[in-house]
């Protein structure tokens, strides 16, 4: 699964990588946790362009009785996402990129869980394959939320976890975001493990175990 990630780059970098005009104000985040607000790239059909919005992490299906369901839907398995009732509608029509520049996974060592930080070797931000939904409460409150797709771990991740978030190649962004593309056979091949040779990882402090900690120390390498 993917339960924590980071975003700490300059806004100008996001503008270039994701080809958007404006970036919502944000502060560096070194320990993003479920139910928090995250930056997400959507395709605006009316404006015929990409845009970045803030969505809540943890997808709330439009038919959900209450918003608590979102806390359980922070991830969606790529292998079954087109079939699951909570995700299949969004998979066809409401795909997005969840913006990040790294993520954490935990390895069990001597009865404890050691966190590792993973990022691209070139240090650039990237887009997790995501889905979004808009939910409305009985009091007419509207919440836009999202989930991150996961797939089998690549060789780098396998030492820590058997799953990893789907990191899309930059050249795949247009296809993934296109709301006119509904063909599972076109979309499914995008959801493969990111190449190990293009990534790096290292152990970090257990400070990341608590979402209350949100400083650069979270991504500082430690010896184990």
Please confirm, yes or no, whether 105 is among the known catalytic residues.
Answer: yes
Residues sharing a CB contact under 8 Å with residue 207, sequence separation 6 or more, in sequence order: 31, 213, 215, 217, 218
51 is catalytic: no
The counts of H helices and E strands in the chain are 5, 13
Instruction: Single out the catalytic residue among 96, 105, 133, 218.
Output: 105
CB 18 within 8 A of CB 41: yes
E strands present in the chain: 5-7, 29-32, 37-44, 49-57, 75-77, 95-100, 102-109, 112-120, 126-136, 142-152, 163-165, 167-168, 199-203
What residues are annotated to the active site? 2, 105
């Amino acid at each position: 699964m993917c339960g924590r990630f980071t975003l700490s780059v300059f806004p100008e970098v996001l503008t270039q990588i994701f080809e958007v005009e404006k970036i919502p104000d944000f502060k560096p985040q070194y320990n993003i946790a479920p139910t928090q607000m995250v930056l997400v790239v959507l395709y605006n059909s009316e404006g015929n362009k990409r845009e970045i919005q803030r969505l809540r992490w943890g997808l709330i299906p439009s038919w959900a009785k209450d918003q608590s369901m979102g806390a359980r839907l922070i991830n969606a398995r790529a292998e079954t996402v087109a079939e699951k009732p909570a995700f299949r509608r969004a998979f066809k029509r409401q795909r997005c990129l969840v913006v990040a520049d790294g993520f954490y996974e935990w390895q069990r060592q001597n009865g404890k869980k050691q966190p590792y930080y993973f990022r691209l070797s070139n240090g650039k931000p990237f887009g997790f394959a995501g889905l979004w939904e808009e939910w409305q409460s009985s009091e007419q409150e509207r919440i836009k939320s999202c989930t991150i797709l996961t797939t089998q771990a690549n060789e780098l991740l396998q030492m820590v976890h058997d799953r990893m978030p789907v990191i899309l190649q930059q050249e795949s962004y247009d296809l993934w975001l296109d709301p006119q593309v509904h063909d599972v056979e076109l979309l499914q091949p995008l959801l493969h493990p990111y190449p190990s040779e293009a990534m790096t990882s290292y152990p970090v402090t257990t400070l990341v175990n608590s979402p209350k900690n949100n400083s650069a120390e979270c991504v500082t390498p430690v010896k184990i």
